[in-house]
Structure 1
Amino acid sequence: MGRIVDLMSQPGNLRYAIAKGFEPAVRGFLWQLVRLRRPRFLFLGRGIKFVSAYNLRLGAHVAIGGYSYIETSAKTPVIFGDNVTLREHAWVQCRSGLNPKGDGLELQRGVYIGPNAVIGVSGKIVIKAGCQIGAGVSFSAESHEFLDGSYTTGATARKGITVGENCWFGNNVTVLDGVEIGAGSVVGAGSVVTKPLPAGCVAVGAPARIIRYTGAHQTEEPV
């Protein structure tokens, strides 16, 4: 208790705590109250736009940063598990206009995703428990098909994306459709992941290639 009192007595700390904790908690409480949901310590930043929130399932202690766009009209419920953090200016889209709905999104317990994330849900996206993902990540669970001599016909394929438990991504990582990343892997900043990665690997570059292993979950030799 003494430590908390000491911190709050320092200039600016109280205002910071109110802006980052109290105000988002009040917004979260009111958001749940209006929608007749049981309060579960939800923290919401300013200016968030929800679309199809009826299909969003929230665990306890979820935090969504300000000025995010959360569109959740998927075929299956969109799930943010306990202690999930989605930072400011996130963009989540499960449907584009009246095109077919996406297959769903699941952010499991303790997932952290930094600011300016882009999550395009066509195929299902699953990010498993404990993943820590830097700012500017892009997940695109759809690929345009080459048809009649062009990629602009609107023909698409949807395979989905899965990220295993306790993975770590640097800033500005892009993950393309059909990718599965094994548990405990590390993906370096600015990498573009175009194909599956085994558990426990360290991958960097565009396209991402394995440079070594962390020692946990190792299944293959680096290439």
Structure 2
Amino acid sequence: MSFIHPTADVASSRIGKGTRIWQFVVILEGAYIGRDCNICAQTLIEGGVVVGDNVTVKSGVQLWEGTLIENDVFVGPNATFTNDPYPRSKAYPDTFSGITVKRGASIGANATLLPGICIGEEAMVGAGAVVTKDVPARALVVGNPARIVRYIEE
């Protein structure tokens, strides 16, 4: 059974067993959240977002339509996901350019991920990094713009 804090606003019925949803979280209809996830306080998850199993989303994160988070991912506090490469007020694209985060990857606190990129399996994005292009599997990226500083060994 999942836990949903009484102050959370959860419109989606697709919440996996064992998932914990904390204070002031908003999850819109159409979102999918897997099993054994921890969705921390003050998080927004739009419809059309898929979050796999065993995912931690720390406080202050917004996951926008088109985002795919695979299993065993960590998203640090206030990480910023985007989905519109040319945002304008009241002007919406035909489709949103979601971000894909592959299995086992970690996104550091306050990192910014631009639309349409993919973070590879078990990659790590350093705190505060600005990711402007795909990150290969097992790469550690830092800085603005984010650059590979090394690869993580098994």
Using structure 1 for the length normalisation, give the TM-score: 0.63
Q: C-alpha displacement at 1:152, in angstroms? A: 5.4
Match of 1:65 in 2: 22
Q: 1:63 to 1:213 in 2, by over 3 A?
A: same
Q: C-alpha displacement at 1:143, in angstroms? A: 2.0
- By percentage of residues, which structure has more helix? 1
Native 8 Å contact 2:49 2:64 kept in 1: no
Q: Specify the code of the residue in structure 2 equivalent to 1:142.
A: D
Question: Which whole-Å CA distance do the structure 1 matches of 2:92 and 2:15 have between them?
Answer: 33
Instruction: Count how many residue pairs are aligned between Structure 1 and Structure 2.
Output: 153
Q: C-alpha displacement at 1:92, in angstroms? A: 2.1
Structure 1 gaps of 5+ residues are: 1-40, 95-103, 146-150, 217-223
Q: C-alpha displacement at 1:125, in angstroms? A: 1.2
Structure 2 gaps of 5+ residues are: none
Secondary structure of 2:14 counterpart: strand
Q: C-alpha displacement at 1:141, in angstroms? A: 1.7
1:138-163 Cα shifts (integer Å, max 9, x gaps): 21122226xxxxx5572536222111
**Cα RMSD, aligned residues only:** 1.8
1:140 to 76, 79, 82: 82
Q: C-alpha displacement at 1:49, in angstroms? A: 2.0
Question: Which whole-Å CA distance do the structure 2 matches of 1:155 and 1:91 have between them?
Answer: 19
Question: Which whole-Å CA distance do the structure 2 matches of 1:155 and 1:47 have between them?
Answer: 30
Native 8 Å contact 1:185 1:200 kept in 2: yes
Match of 1:10 in 2: none
Match of 1:130 in 2: 72
2:91 to 143, 154, 169: 154
Q: Specify the code of the residue in structure 1 equivalent to 2:14.
A: R
Match of 2:51 in 1: 107
Relative contact order, higher structure (CA 8 A, sep 6+): 2
Native 8 Å contact 2:8 2:25 kept in 1: yes
Match of 2:113 in 1: 175
Native 8 Å contact 2:49 2:63 kept in 1: no
Q: Specify the code of the residue in structure 1 equivalent to 2:42.
A: H
Match of 2:42 in 1: 89
Does residue 1:213 correspond to 2:151, yes or no? yes
Q: Specify the code of the residue in structure 2 equivalent to 1:181.
A: I
Q: C-alpha displacement at 1:69, in angstroms? A: 1.8
Does residue 1:47 correspond to 2:7, yes or no? yes
Match of 2:31 in 1: 78
Question: Which whole-Å CA distance do the structure 2 matches of 1:116 and 1:153 have between them?
Answer: 24
Q: Specify the code of the residue in structure 2 equivalent to 1:84.
A: C
Question: Which whole-Å CA distance do the structure 2 matches of 1:47 and 1:210 have between them?
Answer: 40
Quick one: percent identity of the two aligned structures?
27
Secondary structure of 1:57 counterpart: coil
Match of 1:20 in 2: none
Q: Specify the code of the residue in structure 2 equivalent to 1:81.
A: G
1:67-105 Cα shifts (integer Å, max 9, x gaps): 112223xxxx421111011100102234xxxxxxxxx21
Q: C-alpha displacement at 1:215, in angstroms? A: 2.4
2:64 to 85, 99, 120: 120
